[in-house]
Structure 1
């Protein structure tokens, strides 16, 4: 994807036309002059368009977390709770798997082009959902196979985050990635609000209106990407970078942490309505009136998690967030044991907020680790441009891959709920398992990213960069 342009100034450098589409030949957001004169404006325009497209993608991915509320005996369905948990687990699984190839799509096709392609593909699962919810006599296995295409919406996250990662300078990535992810995540709450409106106005017999509602917004998202986004010729994320990322121990460590934060967010978001129906015997309308609040809170708070991590360090914020998640899960367990719906809703809402904060702080840690690696390479004599290019390439791949691992956490959450209900008809064992996992994450975060080994020399501050609190976390593990 080399460019034929040879820009001579920052303004020329963001010239948006080349043969074949809206391509930018040169992009250097770390250059203050370039960023102030023209880079920020272009990056933010792409960010807002990306948020809208990713928002619709998350909504389609979450369609079945809402449509299962419509799958009642009155509507002709006879699926048991564990079957419904399996259904949403399969949808989550497809979305998780697709996040890996979607990371590669941005440099291959261009961020703008791939956004248009991936959003267009969402018309397929939307149409299938419209059909399936009106045909309860469809065999369960076929129902699951066709519904699983909604997982296409889950793949959009990785390509979107990988794309936006290229547009912003290191000092603003926590904010930009948090805003991009949070704006997408809130699609989970949006589709649940749509479901609430449909149930309230038309009853559970009108589930087909939910996917139908999204068709014009899919078309609008395609137009917004076509009109307002750009492709970066210098974007490089390839298979070699993905392989290199998986060989780094920090990939596996950060995957464990992100499974606990994003995996909990998306898993709880898919399961919330089913939990209210299965654990507390709520009607579809009663469940729908509550389910949107948790994902909304978790989504809106995610950029705050990234911003706080920019200021105080991703590892520090993540550690305290996991401690709070353990406490919150303990209250959830108490609410299930006492059969207290108000306590459950309150504690579960707090847990959603904490998953959102943790999503932002853990994701901020990833580019920070590789920014520190680049500084070490430069200090050792490597050319600045080469060091930055190599580490950003791996970091971008890692963002997409860890996003996929986090989505697998959502699969695990719903499978654990399925087994919990199949064995005990209660969510209690599942929440006990989640609490144990969060305790493990506390130990990992402290032991790997915060604990200073005995006898280690103090870590010097990074005077050339403005967020030394965040730098300190990553310099400790950059080698």
Structure 2
């Protein structure tokens, strides 16, 4: 950026100065190489790491119910007794408690996206992290009241949903800090850091619950102590996240919500097609992450009875762990092979993985069951990366085609495509998270109606194959450029 001196000659604008302490940034030009090199990059990375930390805790609290419901029956809550014996009522109640956070988290993702331009990244990151204190302290209190009715825990599970909304505000905030050429990598790190919160909760919670049972002789009291430890362990980290955001993060004055782009994205068929596909990838990742501990305990109760409860409980974390790390691999493969092609492979593989899960259940083989589920989680991660890679490609191609047909400026057309893709990502992310709720409700209703979750799993397999066909039809067919669907089918996106 340049300024005009008194002589009428252009002069170089003052270089940007990095500051460790947080502030409002009145000037932010990440696409300016000189600005980026003079402190912009250091500032962006500082905000990225504090954002990852806060988002990671949001996911940790969001998924916490998936781990603690497996121990609540033993802690004295009758509505979950018999979960380890496959009691249909207990399984249904557990899936209700694990699905409610998914529903609330998905719903909050839309308003959380608009919160950053309105309140600033620093203030809203601190606020959204601070909200995590309510579900954690509430759960810690009521889990020590054995007579607490289930509806209270449903409300507490809903409160935990605030952690799921943090994803959208965090992603929106970080997208403002990085230049176009580095935005994809930054958002990938941000998303993966959040997803890892699921794995770390599912690793730590069973260990802490087991520790509580060893500290107290009374079984029910020991389980209540263990659950309390599994909940309260996150409180000091939440306080650190709030302090770190307030003291060190920055807010960008020029970060503005683009309402027009959201309206255009909402009327674009591609937004809703990709939302369907993201239900299949991210919805499956988050839905199975919530349900996996319950599924292991309900389907293989004999493992707990022979003293493997700690081992089996901790094995549940592997699903979210491998799914988180495979997400950036999916984006990398999509860059080289094509997002649509990878997505078709992913959905086909997910249907095969479901078939292997069903075979493992019929054979009562836990090793095969675990292996098949880990394959499913890896594929969901790959699909998360490939579908996110498809979105800017699709909007870039469709907008460029429209611009060429109407004689619009190429640079402005590209800027419009980026804005619409960003808006679409917010919508698609929210709908995809809602898929986690749908998946768990399908398991719950199948168990209530048929006394088995088998129909739901076969339904998933069919749905995954349908999504593979949808991906091929709209984005991979060589015959896509037809007059009937001029804006939908773009090869190798």
Pairwise same-fold verdict (TM > 0.5): yes
Equivalent position SS for 2:15: helix
Structure 1 residues 216 and 388, CA gap change in structure 2 (3 angstroms):
farther
2:282 to 258, 262, 267: 262
CA contact (8 A) 1:420 1:427 kept: yes
1:111 to 97, 115, 121: 121
CA contact (8 A) 2:480 2:490 kept: no
Counterpart-to-counterpart distance in 2, 1:222 and 1:477: 43
Aligned to 2:387: 362
1:403 to 417, 424, 429: 429
CA contact (8 A) 2:339 2:492 kept: no
CA contact (8 A) 2:17 2:38 kept: no
Counterpart-to-counterpart distance in 2, 1:115 and 1:304: 28
1:278 to 298, 306, 329: 298
1:339 to 348, 360, 364: 364
**Shift in Å at residue 341 of structure 1?**
1.2
Structure 1 residues 279 and 210, CA gap change in structure 2 (3 angstroms):
same
Aligned to 1:249: 269
**Shift in Å at residue 382 of structure 1?**
4.3
CA contact (8 A) 1:10 1:33 kept: no
Aligned to 1:97: 107
Structure 1, 66-75 or 364-373: larger mean CA deviation = 364-373
**Shift in Å at residue 370 of structure 1?**
3.1
**Shift in Å at residue 195 of structure 1?**
0.7
Counterpart-to-counterpart distance in 1, 2:39 and 2:491: 34
Q: How many residue pairs get matched?
A: 455
Structure 1 residues 49 and 384, CA gap change in structure 2 (3 angstroms):
farther
**Shift in Å at residue 151 of structure 1?**
0.3
Q: Give CA deviations for 1:160-214 in whole Å, capped at 9, x if unaligned.
A: 1122223334444443222211110110111111212212322223201112100
Q: How does 1:70-81 map to 2 (within 5 A)?
A: 70-79=71-80, 80-81=90-91
**Shift in Å at residue 456 of structure 1?**
6.8
Counterpart-to-counterpart distance in 2, 1:234 and 1:382: 26
Counterpart-to-counterpart distance in 2, 1:232 and 1:389: 20
Aligned to 2:85: none
Counterpart-to-counterpart distance in 2, 1:385 and 1:10: 25
CA contact (8 A) 1:55 1:187 kept: yes
Counterpart-to-counterpart distance in 1, 2:343 and 2:71: 37
**Shift in Å at residue 38 of structure 1?**
4.5
Aligned to 2:84: none
Counterpart-to-counterpart distance in 2, 1:419 and 1:115: 36
Aligned to 2:466: 440
Counterpart-to-counterpart distance in 1, 2:347 and 2:34: 39
**Shift in Å at residue 441 of structure 1?**
1.0
2:348 to 280, 301, 323: 323
**Shift in Å at residue 144 of structure 1?**
0.6
CA contact (8 A) 1:24 1:230 kept: no
CA contact (8 A) 1:11 1:38 kept: no
Structure 1, 447-456 or 394-403: larger mean CA deviation = 447-456
Counterpart-to-counterpart distance in 2, 1:477 and 1:235: 33
Moved over 6 A (4+): 14-18, 454-457
Structure 1 residues 315 and 171, CA gap change in structure 2 (3 angstroms):
farther
Structure 1 residues 227 and 307, CA gap change in structure 2 (3 angstroms):
farther
Counterpart-to-counterpart distance in 1, 2:208 and 2:73: 15
Q: Does residue 127 in structure 1 map to residue 137 in structure 2?
A: yes
Q: Give CA deviations for 1:19-39 in whole Å, capped at 9, x if unaligned.
A: x9332523343x555545544
Equivalent position SS for 2:379: helix
Structure 1, 210-219 or 126-135: larger mean CA deviation = 126-135
Structure number with bigger Rg:
2
Counterpart-to-counterpart distance in 1, 2:73 and 2:369: 23
Aligned to 1:465: none
Aligned to 1:56: 57
Q: Does residue 12 in structure 1 map to residue 32 in structure 2?
A: no
Structure 1, 34-43 or 326-335: larger mean CA deviation = 34-43
Q: Give CA deviations for 1:69-124 in whole Å, capped at 9, x if unaligned.
A: 22124534432110110111111111111111111111111222211111111111
Q: Does residue 158 in structure 1 map to residue 184 in structure 2?
A: no
Counterpart-to-counterpart distance in 1, 2:237 and 2:353: 36
- Aligned-residue CA RMSD (Å): 2.9
Q: Does residue 351 in structure 1 map to residue 376 in structure 2?
A: yes
Aligned to 2:189: 179
Counterpart-to-counterpart distance in 2, 1:234 and 1:389: 16
Structure 1 residues 12 and 423, CA gap change in structure 2 (3 angstroms):
same
1:394 to 420, 424, 435: 420
Q: Does residue 231 in structure 1 map to residue 251 in structure 2?
A: yes
Q: Give CA deviations for 1:392-433 in whole Å, capped at 9, x if unaligned.
A: 333222222211111111001110111122233332112101
Aligned to 2:83: none
Counterpart-to-counterpart distance in 2, 1:111 and 1:406: 24
Q: Does residue 44 in structure 1 map to residue 45 in structure 2?
A: yes
The normalised TM-score by structure 1 is 0.87
Equivalent position SS for 1:333: helix
